[in-house]
Structure 1
Amino acid sequence: MAGYFEAVPGGGAAVALDEVELSILRSLAVQLLELIGPGDEPDEDADPLAALFAEGPTERPSDPALARLFPDAYADDDAELRAAAAEFRRFTEVDLRTRKRQDALAVVRTLDAFSAVGEGGAVLKLDPDDSRRWLGTLNDLRLTIAARLDITDDESGDALHHLPDEDPRKPMVMAYLWLGMLQETLVETLMG
């Protein structure tokens, strides 16, 4: 089980991670939370129906990583499609940001709980709901790193596999590949 997800009885998945892996995952998830930003939580006495219909931004994020996490619904330069994409974003981005934030926070909380257990690492056992949250966060982390590394297709990704060790992008490439392996084994586990 070391380093890859396996199925657990009753659904869900488990993975054995050492202290370094736990620390890297937590750091990446916290950075993702910082990138996504704080939520616009309604006041306690706010009208719940009004909060449900809160409008979000209409412009695509300028940060390439955020643009990858929150893409336009329509990728065409036609003025009508740009207007439709803005309208779609206005009504969906707030909820999407909230879900991504909740998923990343669930990952951090899981890692914090296991970090407190002791030294040497841990076997994380995730129920089906936590497995879904983890899968979403692993995907978001890979999309963010891909944007930072300017990976736009298989060719640009393959070129990074052979970087010399002294290349400053090497740690990010290694994290990208490792997260991909975790994501792939989690998908296989959940589909199996």
Structure 2
Amino acid sequence: MADEEKSKSWWQTLPGLIASLTAATTAFAGLLVALKQVGWIGSPQPPAAPAPQQQQSSSTPSPAPAAPVAAAAPASHPVTLPELREYKLDTATFTLLSATLSPQTAEKDALRIQIRMMNNNSYDANFWDRSFRLMLDGVPVAPESDLNELVPARSAKEGAVLFALPRATANVKLEISYGNEQTLIPLALGAPR
């Protein structure tokens, strides 16, 4: 009977021994990490090489190093918007705020149009790229931006729609579609590029 009690008590303490061993191992590993971080153990980081010192003569100061010349960014220019800038379609009102044209690649320009959408409805509405197309010679072109906003009921939000177009393009039409309605807005891009 004494042997049974000894073996029973040993098996009852085995989970306790395993837990204790695990805790001690974790504490020891944490101590090693802390000692390594403060630099008490492990190889120290090599010191940074000193910067070479230039000899300076007392009569001639050494010239300051030339700053790198940044390439001039191609300039963007504003696009003249039509007099009528507010368009009511179904339960929304779209207002053209501004438009700029800037070089995108050697062959293409980027047309960025800033638009405000007023949701006149009693529930939320999407304000997204799907509502806009640029008509180039009668062919609709989708925007390259990622406008995708939710406009709360009886609220407004502003967003930008970005189109890529051939460099020689002078006139385009912006198509706005919402609900079952749409409108075409002529835009003259005529500044020299």
TM-score bracket relative to the smaller structure:
under 0.3
Of Structure 1 and Structure 2, which has the larger fraction of its residues in strand? 2
User: Which protein is bigger by CA-based radius of gyration?
Assistant: 2
Select the structure that is richer in helix.
1
